[in-house]
Structure 1
């Protein structure tokens, strides 16, 4: 398994790695703020439901939208930290060069999947804007919550390409 790009909170020396790390951290912080807001919103709704039998209408919609936003914004940092689940039962005793190649292939597959998801979610955002699609209970436009998906997946594409490139260079070195 490859080592994480980010160690002990320090930024890497390479300019590309530094930029990707900074971008991934900013997206993760935004995702964290979204989760804190969702926690406060849920707590408020539960409190209002318990005390006054008046829950916040549409709280489930907001939590669903917010969780999707937070998750997609966490993915690039997860990739840089090599935090994705890796099943290495068959490669545990394989030579380092084989593991590096497999990690690079995995990174390229993640990049390909993320690029496809960025493209299609971008089309989904444009479609939601064009059709004026709204949430069921609150009537909120759906495009605003969907707009984080192309950004998060595009950043994931770049970070996965970078980690794959790292793995290939490690194999050569």
Structure 2
């Protein structure tokens, strides 16, 4: 089960990377249009930026940012402070590691629950992006799924026999 969750965390990070690459591509295109507009404006020409650029970036980054958390947890990439526990007995380190994993899983599930509430509210209000007119609620789904996967990653690490030193 731990291997499946780790592979899923990898897939989420890859998808998050693809979304970030799309954001960079759209941003570069939009910036290029603005630069080109300044160059050709004295010639009486006009080059418009991408309509809805801000909407797209705001909606895309909202899910992509959270998609890296499960991978970071799976690779134990989070900051750990071992200054006070590095010389503690192995059982103490094991217990502290499990307690922090449980707390992190609880926080991730708490945030997922609140994002779920936000999704329901955005859907109920029929909230839309200002320029593009896209419904906002579907963009909550990757973030909620990422938070749930983050919690599952923590729980699988609690059950598994992983490094904690």
Return the TM-score normalized by structure 1: 0.81
Q: 1:36 aligns with which of 12, 16, 21?
A: 21
CA distance in 2, matches of 1:52, 1:100: 60
1:124 maps to 2:118: yes
Q: Which deviations, in whole Å up to 9, do the C-alpha atoms of 1:76-125 show, x marking residues without a partner?
A: 11111001112222223222322221111110011001111122212221
Corresponding residue SS for 1:147:
helix
Q: 2:71 aligns with which of 68, 73, 77?
A: 77
Aligned residues: 155
Q: 2:56 aligns with which of 58, 62, 80?
A: 62
What's the CA shift for 1:170?
Answer: 7.0
* Counterpart mapping for 1:1-173 below 5 A: 16-52=1-37, 54-166=48-160
Q: Which has the larger radius of gyration?
A: 2
Give the unaligned 5+ runs of structure 1: 1-15
CA distance in 1, matches of 2:33, 2:119: 33
Give the unaligned 5+ runs of structure 2: 39-47
RMSD: 1.9
CA distance in 1, matches of 2:21, 2:68: 14
What's the CA shift for 1:161?
Answer: 0.8
| Contact 1:122 1:149 (C-alpha < 8 Å) held by counterparts | no
Whose RCO is larger (CA < 8 A, sep 6+)?
Answer: 2
| Contact 1:106 1:164 (C-alpha < 8 Å) held by counterparts | no
What's the CA shift for 1:126?
Answer: 1.9
